[in-house]
Amino acid sequence: MEPVLRLGIQKEGRLSERSLEFIEACGIDYSRNKTRLKSTASNFPLEILYLRDDDIPKVVADGVADIGIVGENVVVEKQETVDIIERMGFSRCRLSIAVPANAPYLGPDSLNGKKIATSYPNLLREYLVGHGVLAEIHEISGSVEIAPSIGLADAICDIVSSGSTLMGNGLREAEVIFRSEAVLVGHRHLSPAKQEILNRLLFRIKAVSKAENHKYIVMNIPNEAIEEVTRLIPGMKSPTVTPLAEPGWSSLHSVLKEDTFWDVIEQLQAKGAQGILVIPIEKMIL
Ligand code: ATP
Ligand code: MG
């Protein structure tokens, strides 16, 4: 039998759609039957298992799945032995301690003697011990934000992205204790055949995430600016420069990193660049 790599992803929730989009961006076709818990790719040796996100670290640690996509918050909380292979760059969020908006809060010491509700007892304990705080951890699996208003706890420790859920429950963020994003995790000891499939998949994943973090940029520049602009946007090797029909001007093509994008655009304009086009890149292979 041909070896197949098994990937665990969240069945339904905040990670599901982006996880599947990523697989599709890697050029992998599969058909999904909503009632089934497994799909088999038709053009790559991959099986997809649909799981609760909480179960993914253990399933990968046990080798039932070879790899998985899950929030780093869950990986660290579950304390299972898995390797973090790649950071996925989506589902960014933070795990924070929040207190009633009207209660005084003067720093971690204010949590001494309090009862804190959370679904992340291990991460919270680590924070409290690290800050010398003695507080009671009350573990609940959902609806953590309402715990203070129903008298179940004095504070909470939960995932925050915008903070509007906290505000809606009369809470304010007091401490960020962990920053997370989706990660690709892997079983510690993959067979050489599975490792080879994983390497092929990683090659694609890297090409996709590189492409997502870069833009193709085309502009017209006065010839005297070519040298300086090349220094600003060296691209993958060096920019392509072709003369325009109008004397003294060239068209310059290059690749630019998303995170420096606006700074660089301003500098290009200052050097006399005009007609700047910015185009998404689908795949990028160095
Ligand atoms: P399951 O039913 O699979 O156990 P869940 O309810 O535990 O799902 P979700 O709410 O779908 O989990 O969140 C999954 C992961 O997405 C979280 O562990 C976290 O890494 C990330 N996440 C949660 N909330 C947000 C958010 N508001 N913004 C971005 N990412 C988030
Ligand atoms: Mg969960």
**CATH code of the domain covering residue 9:** 3.40.190.10
User: Residue 57 corresponds to which tokens in the numbers above?
Assistant: 């670290």
- State the ligand closest to the CA atom of 17: 1
107 and 71 co-located in one domain: no
Q: Please write the tens of the pLDDT for every residue from 202-223.
A: 999 889 888 888 999 999 999 9
237 and 222 co-located in one domain: yes
Claim: this prediction has a pTM higher than 0.75:
yes
Contact status, residue 30 vs residue 23, Cβ threshold 8 Å: yes
Query: Does a structural domain hold residue 286?
Result: no
Residue 34 has a pLDDT of 76
pLDDT category at 175 given cuts 50, 70, 90 is very high
Residue 213 has a pLDDT of 87
Domain finish residue from 211, 231, 254: 211
Query: Does a structural domain hold residue 233?
Result: yes
pLDDT category at 146 given cuts 50, 70, 90 is very high
Ligand 2 center to 261 CA (angstroms)? 36
Angstrom distances, CA of residue 55 to CA of 46, 172, 227, 249: 19, 30, 54, 59
Domain that residue 221 falls in? 214-280
Higher pLDDT, 201 or 213: 201
Query: In a mutational test of the pocket of ligand 1, which residue from 92, 159, 181 has the highest number of ligand atoms less than 8 Å from its CB?
Result: 159
| Ligand 1 contacts CB of residue 283 (under 6 A) | no
How many Cβ atoms from other residues are within 10 Å of residue 245's Cβ?
5
Q: How many CA atoms lie within 13 A of 16 on its CB side?
A: 11
